[in-house]
Amino acid sequence: MGGRPLLLLLLPLLGACGFHLRGDVSLPAWLERVQVTGEPRYGKTIEMLAHSLRAAGATLVERAAQGDVVIVVEGEQRQRRVLSVNSEGRPREYELSYRLVYSVRTPAGRVLLPSRSVVRTKEYTFDEADVLGKSTEREELWHELRRRVVAAVVNRLRYSRRKPR
């Protein structure tokens, strides 16, 4: 009972020290109206990035002229590398690597943030006795890596500074 008044006195100090709940940091003002674009083959990534930006507070626009900036998905690369093999020389462990390249431009096409890439990796074991299950697991891991890369892009955008116009 005596701790409640002390707690109420300490709560304003949390705000004063710059404490924010995770996910509370909003996008900078220059990223209010955004178009996300890229080649059709990057559709899933573009969709995921657009959804994440909307969740972070951005307004998505259909045409570049309606927005403040255009985020261009320039490329993505998925790579699978063998990490270890069993006694018969068959793969036992793999490393999955997902790389996304993006840039930020004005609606007129001027580069604000040049091409940047984000890479995330994940290791997984392979079991020949469960090929179907491991195939499903691998696809889920690719999806998770894409999600992590998109989250990293949005996080980088939160803390990036726009080049002066």
The predicted pLDDT at position 164 comes to 45
In a domain, 16, yes or no: no
Mean pLDDT of 126-153: 82
Domain of 118: which CATH number? 3.30.160.150
Summarize pLDDT for 44-88 with one digit per residue, the tens.
999 999 999 999 999 999 999 999 999 999 999 999 999 888 888
pTM of the model: 0.76
Q: What are the DSSP calls for the chain, one per residue?
A: -THHHHHHHHHHHHHHTT---TT-PPPPGGGSEEEEEE-GGGHHHHHHHHHHHHHTTPEE-SSGGGSSEEEEEEEEEEEEEEEEE-TTS-EEEEEEEEEEEEEEE-TTS-EEEEEEEEEEEEEEE--GGGHHHHHHHHHHHHHHHHHHHHHHHHHHHHH--PPP-
Of 163 and 32, the one with more pLDDT = 32
Mean pLDDT of 11-29: 63
Instruction: Please check the confidence at residue 151 and state whether its pLDDT lies above 80.
Output: yes
In a domain, 150, yes or no: yes
Tell me how many domains the chain contains: 1
Summarize pLDDT for 86-135 with one digit per residue, the tens.
888 888 888 999 999 999 999 999 999 999 999 999 998 876 665 555 67
Q: For residue 134, give its domain range.
A: 22-159
